[in-house]
Structure 1
Amino acid sequence: MTDNPISNAVAVRDNSPQGLIEQYRGDFTTVLPSHVKSGTWVRLAQGVLRRDKNLAQVAQRNPGSFMSALLECARLGHEPGTEAFYLVPFGNEVQGIEGYRGVVERIYRAGAVKSVQAEVVCENDTFIWTPGKVDRHEPPRWDGPQAVPFHDIDWFGDRGKVKGAYAYAIFQDGTPSKVVVINQVYIDKVRKESRGSDKASSPWVKWYEQMVLKTVARRLEPWVPTSTEWRKEQMRAAQQVAAEGHVTQLPAGPPPPVSDPDEVVEGELMDDDTAA
C-alpha cells in the first residue's frame, strides 16, 4: 500500500518556532515594507531564537504570542531582537516592544528629515524652552532658543535623576519640526500603562533612559513622516508631475530621467541573497 504523501508531509512538519517562521514566510513578506527582503529577515528572526534560550523556551510554549510579536516587527520594518525591536519573554508569552532606535529609524526612513534630536533632561541640567516667544523682526533660526530648546549638560558631572525629555526633527530644508516635551508625570503614566513594567525583565527596568527617549520620540511621530512607503509615494508623485509637465511643454521629446522609486536607501536592511 502506497503511503499518503500529504499525511506524511503533515507528520514531518516542523512546528518548532524556527519552523513556524519558515512556514509563515509568506505572511511576513506580505506585511514587510518594500525595503526589507524576506530572506534576510527570516534568518534574523530564526537567529534570535538560537541566541536567547529563554526566549526560545517561551516561544515553544506559546508560539502564538511569538508569531504575533514577529508580525508586528515585520510590519514596522525592523530587525527582530535588536534595539530597534525587542522580543521580551513575559511569563508564558513573548511580547514585542519597539525601542527608541526603532522609532527614530522609521523617521529617518521616510526621508523627510535630516536629523532627529532627542534627549532626557535631568535635575542638574540647564533646560530652557519658551515656545511662542519669537521676535517677529528676526529671521527664524533652527539653532537658536526661539525655535528649539536650549539644553546645557555637564556630561562628566552628576546630572541627577531624570525629570523629563524632549524631541524634535530638522527637515531637509533646515527648518525644525514641532518640539515635543514630556515631564515626569507623563513618563510615569506611560510606564504604569506598560504591561509588566515593574518586572526585572522589563525594558523599563533594564533600559529606563532608552524607554523615556522612546516615549518622547513617539510623541514626535504625529509631526514628522515615519513611513518608507510615504517616501516612495512622494517620489512617484514627483515623477508623475515632472512627466506630465514635460509632455505638456515638449510633446515630441522623451520624459526626463528620474530616480528609481524602488532604490534601496543606504543604511536600510538589504538582502544578501543572490538572485537565481
Structure 2
Amino acid sequence: MNQISNAIATRDNGPAAMVEQYRADLELVMPSHLQARVGAWIRNTQGLLRRDPKLMEAAQNDVGQFIAVLMDAGRLGLEPGTEQYYLIPRWNKKKRCTEVTGVRGYQGEIELMYRAGAVSSVIVEAVYTNDQFQFRPGRDERPLHDIDWDAEDRGELRLVYAYAVMKDGATSKVVVLNKGHIAKARAKSDSANGKYPERSPWNTDEEAMWLKTGAHRLTKWVPTSAEYMREQLRSKAVVDGELRPEPLPVTIPAPAPGTVDDDYDEDPIEGELVED
C-alpha cells in the first residue's frame, strides 16, 4: 500500500503533473490566441516529456526551472518543443545536474513580428558561398539574392540577412550578419557549449540558428507583439471620441536569468558586401 501511495505522490509531483497544476498561471500570461487552446498546449508539452527521457530527467531535476521556461514560452505565445521554441537539457555546473533551458527558434522570432500586426512580410534567408548576393546600404532598398536551384551543392553558409516589409510598403532596416557575427552569437550560447552539445539546435540544425540570429537582430527594428499589445491598450483609452482613463500598461515579466538561452544581443549591422 505504501508503494502505491509513494508512486502516486511521485507522479503527482512530477513535471507533467506540475504543468497541469500551473494551467491557470500559464493561461494568465498567454496571449488570447493560445488561451483558447491552453489544454492542447499543455498536452503537447506533456507528450514531449514522455517521448524524451533526457528532457524528462532534466525537468525532474529542477521542476521550478522547467515551469519558468514554459512560462516564458507561454507569455511569448510560442509552442515549446518546436522550431518556434526549443526545449533543451543543459548541464548546470553549480547544481551538477541537467536542467531544461528554452531557446527561441527563427520561426518563433518571425511569429512575434507577424503577430504585432505592423508587417506584411518578413524575409530571413541564408546565403551560401555559391549564391550571388548584393546589397549596397544607402543605395539598395533590399538585397539581391540569386540562387541556382539546380546546383547540387550551394557551398557553405556564408551570410544571413533579414528585413521586413511594413504594412505601408516601406522596407525596414536590412540586417546582414557574417560568419564572425554568428560565431559570437554561438559562443554565448550555453546549449551549444554545454555538456550535451549534441542536443543544441546549433548542432542539430545550424542553418535554422543562423536564420534565428538574423531574425532576432531584426526585432530591434520591427515591432514585436509585446509592444503592439501595449499600444493597443493605449489606443483603447479613447473610445467614440471620449477620453477615458488609460488602463495600466501590461507588464510581461522577463524570464529569470539563465532560464532561456538567448543572451546574445549585439547591435545589428547593415550589409556591406557587393558582388557582381
TM-score by length of 2: 0.74
Spell out, residue by residue over 1:234-272, the C-alpha distance to the aligned partner (whole angstroms, 9 max, x if none): 45555665721xx79xxxxxxxxxxxxxxxxxxxxxxxx
Spell out, residue by residue over 1:153-199, the C-alpha distance to the aligned partner (whole angstroms, 9 max, x if none): 11231221111110000011211111011111110011011114152
Q: What SS does structure 2 have at the residue aligned with 1:224?
A: coil
Q: What SS does structure 1 have at the residue aligned with 2:107?
A: helix
Aligned residue number for residue 218 of structure 2: 220
Spell out, residue by residue over 1:124-145, the C-alpha distance to the aligned partner (whole angstroms, 9 max, x if none): 1111111112xxxxxxxxxxxx
Q: 1:58 Cα deviation (Å)?
A: 2.2
Query: Which shows bigger deviation, 18-27 or 210-219?
Result: 18-27
**AA aligned opposite 1:149:** P
Q: 1:149 Cα deviation (Å)?
A: 0.7
Aligned residue number for residue 88 of structure 1: 88
Tell whether 2:72 aligns with 1:78: no
Q: Following superposition, which runs of at least 4 residues in structure 1 exceed 3 angstroms of deviation?
A: 10-13, 229-242
Query: Which shows bigger deviation, 90-99 or 25-34?
Result: 25-34
Quick check: 2:88–2:191 contact (8 Å CA) kept in 1? Answer: no
Aligned residue number for residue 117 of structure 1: 123
Aligned residue number for residue 146 of structure 2: 152
Aligned residue number for residue 209 of structure 2: 211
The aligned runs of 1:3-82 (5 Å cut-off) are: 14-37=12-35, 38-82=38-82
Aligned residue number for residue 4 of structure 2: none
Q: Structure 2 unaligned runs (5+)?
A: 1-7, 92-97, 244-276
Q: What SS does structure 2 have at the residue aligned with 1:200?
A: helix
Aligned residue number for residue 240 of structure 2: 243
Quote the Cα distance in structure 2 between the aligned partners of 1:194 and 1:148.
Answer: 30
Aligned residue number for residue 178 of structure 2: 183
Quote the Cα distance in structure 2 between the aligned partners of 1:12 and 1:191.
Answer: 38
Alignment counterpart, residue 166 of structure 1, candidates 152, 158, 161: 161
Q: 1:55 Cα deviation (Å)?
A: 1.3
Q: What SS does structure 1 have at the residue aligned with 2:136?
A: coil
Which of structures 1 and 2 has the bigger CA Rg?
1
Quote the Cα distance in structure 2 between the aligned partners of 1:150 and 1:65.
Answer: 44
Spell out, residue by residue over 1:84-114, the C-alpha distance to the aligned partner (whole angstroms, 9 max, x if none): 0111122411111110100000011111101
Quote the Cα distance in structure 1 between the aligned partners of 2:190 and 2:66.
Answer: 16
Quote the Cα distance in structure 2 between the aligned partners of 1:12 and 1:212.
Answer: 41
Q: Percent identity?
A: 46
Aligned residues: 224
Q: What SS does structure 2 have at the residue aligned with 1:181?
A: strand
Quote the Cα distance in structure 1 between the aligned partners of 2:141 and 2:85.
Answer: 32
Alignment counterpart, residue 112 of structure 2, candidates 78, 102, 106: 106
CA RMSD of aligned residues (A): 2.3
Q: Structure 1 unaligned runs (5+)?
A: 1-9, 134-145, 249-276
**Structure 1 residues 235, 60: closer, same or farther in 2, change over 3 A?**
closer
